[in-house]
Structure 1
Amino acid sequence: MRRVIERWSRDQVLSLAPDAASQKAATGVSAPGKWSGSGALPDVVWGECKGSGATPYRACVDLSEPAYKCSCPSRKFPCKHALGLLLLWASDGVPDGGEPAGWAAEWLEQRRSRADKQEKQEKQEKRDGRERSAPAKAARSSGGSAQRETRVSAGLSELERWLTDQIAQGIAGAPQTGLADWDELGRRLVDAQAPGVAGSVSRLSRVLGEEDWPGLLLEEYALIHLLAVAHRRTAELPAGLAETVRSRVGFPITREDVLATPWVRDEWDVVGGRDEEQDRLVARRIWMQGRATGRVALVLSFAPIGQALDASLVTGTAVDASLAYYPGASPLRAVVAERHGPVAAARPAGTRLSQVPGRIAEVLAGDPWADSWPVVLEGVIPSKESLMDEDGNGLPLHPAGGALWRLLAVSGGHPVTVAAEWTPRGSRPLTVWDEESQVVRL
C-alpha cells in the first residue's frame, strides 16, 4: 500500500534548492509545455523535460524522503529539472494516477532494495553500538584516553589563567589586540585537543562589531571560564551535565554510541531549517517537534560549499520516525535512527509566549552554554521588533534576523503560529502558518 503524501507548497519546493540560482532555473523549467510523460502517485512524481538536445531529461522524485533522479549532467542536487517537476506538481500541473514509466520504476525498485539493506545494517549497528558502549565508557573512565584528558586539562588550566589576566588588565584594548590574542589562544587549545573551546574563542571576534561589545565580551569570557571550571570539576557533576561539558569542550561521540542510546519514536513535525556557513562548510540546521512527546530536536548535516546538503527533511512536512539523541543535560541534537514513514502534515502545536521564559530557563539550567533553542509559538502577532501576544507579552527579534516582510504579510496584523529559533540576542523566525494552516518558509 502506497503512503499518502500531501502536495507541497511552492515555498517548500524552493527550500530544497541548493542555491538561489537553482531556484531561478527551476522556475524557468516548471512550465507545463516543457514536460511530457509526467505522472504522480501519492509518493512519487516523474516526467520528461525538454532540453537543448534531442533527448529529454528524465526526472523522478521519491517524495517519501525525498530523493531525486535525473538524467541531466548537473552536479547540483537536486537539479533544476527535479525542482521544476516538483514546482509543476505543487501547482497541480502533473496528472495523478497511472504507473511510473519503466525507467522510473526501475530506479524506485533499486531504492527499495537499498533501503532494505540499509535497515538491516542500521539494526546491526544499533546492536553493535550497545555491545561496545559499556566497554568504551569503562575504558574512558579507567584511563583509556588518559593522555587526551591530561592535555585537555592542561590546556584549560592555561585558559583559566589567561582569562584571569584579561579581567585583571581590563578589556579596553580588545579591539586593538584581541584578534591576535584570540587567534593564538585558539591554536593552543586546538593543540590541547579541546576544539569546542577553541571554537568558542575564535567566535569572540564577532562581538567587536557590536555597539555594546564590552558587555557581550564579558559574557562570553564568563561562559568560557565556566566551561573550563566545569571540566576541572567533572567528577562532581551529574551525569547529564558532565556529558554536556565534555561535548562543549570537544570530546567526540560516535554515531554508533548515539544509536546505542534509547530511541524516541514519535510523529515529528519539521518546523524549520536554516543554513549557515562555517569555515569552508555549510551547516544545515533542521528543527523538529514531536506531536506526542512535545520534545524538540536538532538534526545537523554538513557539506562543502557548493555541494548538496541533506534535503530529506522538508519544512512543513511530518514523519513517523525514531530519533536518537546525543547525551546531555538538555538534549537537543539528534540523528534520525529509523524512518517508519511520512504522516499527514498539520500545523504544529504551539506554546504561549508567557511560557517561553520558563522553558528557556530550564534549558539553560541544564546547559548554560546553549545558544539556540527551537520554539513554536501560537497566537503571536509579529512586528518589526518582536513577536507579541494579545496579553502584551513579547519576544524580541534578533537584530540580524533578516527581512520580515513575508512574516508581516502572512500575519496581516492577526495572530499566527510561528516557529522560531531562540538565541540570547533575540529570536529568528523560521516558519509561519496562516489561518488555513498553510506553511510559509521565511
Structure 2
Amino acid sequence: MNQHGVRWTSEQVLALAPDDASRRAGNKLGAAGPWSGTGSSGSGGVWGLCKGSGSKPYQTVVDTTGPACKCSCPSRKFPCKHALGLLLLWAADEEAVRDSTTPDWAEEWLEGRRKRATDKEQGDAGTGQSADPEAARRRAERRAGRITAGATELERRLADLLRGGLAAAEQSGYGLWEETAARMVDAQAPGLAARVRELGAIPGSGPGWPVRLLEECALIHLLDAAWLGIERLPEPLAATVRTRVGLTSPAEGPPVRDRWLILAQYDSSDGKITTRRIWLYGRESGRTALLLSFGAAGRSPQQALPVGLTIDAELTPYAGAGQLRADLGEQFGAPVAIASPPPGGPTAAALEGYGRAMRDDPWLDSWPVTLSGVIPVPTSPGWQLADADGGTGLPVAPAALARPGLLKLVALSGGGPVTVFGECGHQGFSPLAAWSEDGSETVPLI
C-alpha cells in the first residue's frame, strides 16, 4: 500500500485499456514471470522491466496519480500492454511489486512529470498575455463569417431536399451528404459537418427512416437558425450553439474542488479520431462532470482515470448550457475507493432530468443519470430497467444490448434491485456502472 490509497482492482486497471486486444495482452503480462526490477513508491510511481523479444527488457513506468505511463516498447497505444500488465501485477501481488527506492531511469521520468506540472501551473497565469487580442478578434470574425456562409448554404440544401421529397435522399445515396459535409468542413464548422454525415446513414437504417431523417433535418435547421441569430440568444444558449457548430473555447469557469467519484470511462471513434469520455460525480457539490480527451492517427487518448476510485481534485467547467464538460486540474491527497454510489432516483426522475436538460440544449443526445432501486428485466425485444416498486421502466439502448456489461448487470442484480449510472437518451438508457444493494463495490459495465 502507498500513500496514494488502495491499490487498484484488476477491473479498474483493465478499464484503462484502449481496446479488447490490449486487455487480453495486458492480462498475459499480469503475472510475475516476465518481470524483474519491479517496485513502487509512496508518491505514486510503479515501475518494472519486462522481458520482450529483444535482448533488452522494456522499461515501463507508471505514475498512478495521473495516471500516465512511459514504456520503451514501440506501441502507440496508451496505456500499452506492458503498462497494463505491470499495473495488474501491482494490483494483485504486493509481494511482487513492493515499495522500494526508485531507479534512476524511472525517477528521471517521474521527476520530469512533476516539474512540467509545476511549470504549467506557474505559466498558466501568464498565458495569453503576449498574444495580440486584436489579431485574435479578427481571426474569430473571419471564422464566424465562414460558418455563417456554410450555415446559409446548408439551409438551402435542406430546403431543396424537402422541396424534392425525402425519397430523393434514398436515391442520391451517401455521396450527396459527404459532399455537403465537406463543404461544412471548408466553412470551419465541424459540428455541422458531423451532423450532416449522420444524415447519409439514415436512409439505409431500416423501416421508418423517413421519420428519422425528417427529425434530424429539423434539428440541423434549428442549429442553423440558432447560429444565424446567435446575437439574440441568451449567453448560456449562445455558448452551447457555438460548441455545437464546432467552435472550441477554453475551460474558464470558476474551479470546483470536490471529492469526485470516477464513475465510467469509455472510447468511441469516427475512424479518424478516438474520443475518450470520463464521467465524474462531485460528492459535495452534487455536480456531474465530463472529461473529454482525444487521440488521432491511431493513438489512444492520453487521459485515463481508474473507475471506482474517488479523487480530491479541482475541475474547471466549460461555458454553455448544463456546463457538464470540464478540465481536470490539481489533485489533492490520496485517491480512495468509492464508498457508496451517487444518489439516484426512479426511472421517471431520469426522464424528467433528460427533458430539463434538452430545454437548454435541444441537440443533446443523452444525459447522465443514476437510477436507484431498479431491476434489469427482459422484454421483447431487448431489456429494460424497471423500478423495483412497480413503477415505470427504461428500455436499454440498442447499442448497449450487445455489450458484455449487460450480462454483468444482470448477474449483479440476480433479480434484486441495483443502482445504475448511465446515459439516458432518446434511444434508451446505456448502463455504464452499477452497484449492488449494499453499494460496496463499483462494477464497470463498459
TM-score by length of 2: 0.87
1:251 corresponding residue in structure 2: 247
Letter of the 1:373 partner, please give it.
W
2:132 and 2:57 map into 1 onto residues whose CA distance is: 55
Shift in alpha-carbon separation, 1:305–1:318, aligned structure 2, 3 A: farther
| Contact 2:78 2:302 (8 Å CA) reproduced | no
1:124 corresponding residue in structure 2: 123
Q: Does 1:5 align with 2:35?
A: no
For residue 3 of structure 1, report the CA deviation from its aligned partner: 3.1
Q: Does 1:365 align with 2:365?
A: no
- SS where residue 440 of structure 2 aligns? coil
Q: Does 1:389 align with 2:387?
A: yes
Q: Does 1:227 align with 2:229?
A: no
1:161 corresponding residue in structure 2: 156
For residue 298 of structure 1, report the CA deviation from its aligned partner: 1.6
| Contact 1:64 1:341 (8 Å CA) reproduced | no
For residue 345 of structure 1, report the CA deviation from its aligned partner: 2.1
Q: Does 1:300 align with 2:292?
A: yes
1:220-270 Cα deviation digits (max 9, x unpaired): 1111111111112212110111111112122232xxx42x43222222111
For residue 202 of structure 1, report the CA deviation from its aligned partner: 0.9
Shift in alpha-carbon separation, 1:48–1:280, aligned structure 2, 3 A: same
1:167-207 Cα deviation digits (max 9, x unpaired): 23321232221523322322222233322112111111232
2:344 to 351, 361, 368: 351
Letter of the 2:215 partner, please give it.
E
1:159 and 1:50 map into 2 onto residues whose CA distance is: 56
Q: Does 1:263 align with 2:255?
A: yes
Q: Does 1:107 align with 2:106?
A: yes
| Contact 2:293 2:303 (8 Å CA) reproduced | no
Shift in alpha-carbon separation, 1:157–1:132, aligned structure 2, 3 A: farther
1:177 corresponding residue in structure 2: 172
Shift in alpha-carbon separation, 1:79–1:175, aligned structure 2, 3 A: same
2:435 corresponding residue in structure 1: 433
2:20 corresponding residue in structure 1: 20
- Root-mean-square deviation (CA, aligned residues, Å) is 2.9
1:314-353 map, 5 Å: 314-346=306-338, 347-353=340-346
2:422 corresponding residue in structure 1: 420
For residue 31 of structure 1, report the CA deviation from its aligned partner: 2.5
Structure 1, 78-87 or 66-75: larger mean CA deviation: 66-75
For residue 40 of structure 1, report the CA deviation from its aligned partner: 4.2
Letter of the 2:14 partner, please give it.
L
| Contact 1:40 1:95 (8 Å CA) reproduced | no
- SS where residue 386 of structure 1 aligns? strand
Unaligned runs of 5+ in 2: none
1:124-175 Cα deviation digits (max 9, x unpaired): 324535x699957x974xx664333333223222322332332233212322
For residue 432 of structure 1, report the CA deviation from its aligned partner: 1.8
For residue 415 of structure 1, report the CA deviation from its aligned partner: 1.6
1:178-197 map, 5 Å: 178-197=173-192
Letter of the 1:358 partner, please give it.
E
| Contact 2:261 2:310 (8 Å CA) reproduced | yes
- SS where residue 85 of structure 1 aligns? helix
- SS where residue 155 of structure 2 aligns? helix
Shift in alpha-carbon separation, 1:240–1:96, aligned structure 2, 3 A: same
For residue 287 of structure 1, report the CA deviation from its aligned partner: 1.3
1:1-36 Cα deviation digits (max 9, x unpaired): 963322222222112223322222222222234444
For residue 419 of structure 1, report the CA deviation from its aligned partner: 1.8
Structure 1, 265-274 or 431-440: larger mean CA deviation: 431-440
1:309-366 Cα deviation digits (max 9, x unpaired): 2243122222222222221122122211333344322133131123212211221111
- SS where residue 284 of structure 2 aligns? coil
Aligned residues: 432
- SS where residue 200 of structure 1 aligns? helix
- SS where residue 198 of structure 1 aligns? helix
Structure 1, 226-235 or 112-121: larger mean CA deviation: 112-121
1:33 and 1:189 map into 2 onto residues whose CA distance is: 54
For residue 303 of structure 1, report the CA deviation from its aligned partner: 1.4
| Contact 2:354 2:425 (8 Å CA) reproduced | no
Shift in alpha-carbon separation, 1:390–1:97, aligned structure 2, 3 A: same
- SS where residue 328 of structure 2 aligns? strand
1:86 corresponding residue in structure 2: 87
Shift in alpha-carbon separation, 1:186–1:69, aligned structure 2, 3 A: closer
1:270-316 Cα deviation digits (max 9, x unpaired): 11122111132211111111111111122111113532322431222
- SS where residue 427 of structure 1 aligns? strand
1:45 corresponding residue in structure 2: 46
Letter of the 1:324 partner, please give it.
T
2:177 and 2:74 map into 1 onto residues whose CA distance is: 45
Residue identity (%): 44
Shift in alpha-carbon separation, 1:361–1:161, aligned structure 2, 3 A: same
Shift in alpha-carbon separation, 1:154–1:308, aligned structure 2, 3 A: closer
- SS where residue 357 of structure 1 aligns? helix
Letter of the 2:388 partner, please give it.
E
2:407 to 405, 408, 430: 405
| Contact 1:5 1:63 (8 Å CA) reproduced | no
- SS where residue 32 of structure 1 aligns? coil
Shift in alpha-carbon separation, 1:314–1:210, aligned structure 2, 3 A: farther
2:115 and 2:122 map into 1 onto residues whose CA distance is: 11
For residue 108 of structure 1, report the CA deviation from its aligned partner: 3.6
2:60 and 2:151 map into 1 onto residues whose CA distance is: 54
1:306 and 1:147 map into 2 onto residues whose CA distance is: 32
Letter of the 2:197 partner, please give it.
S
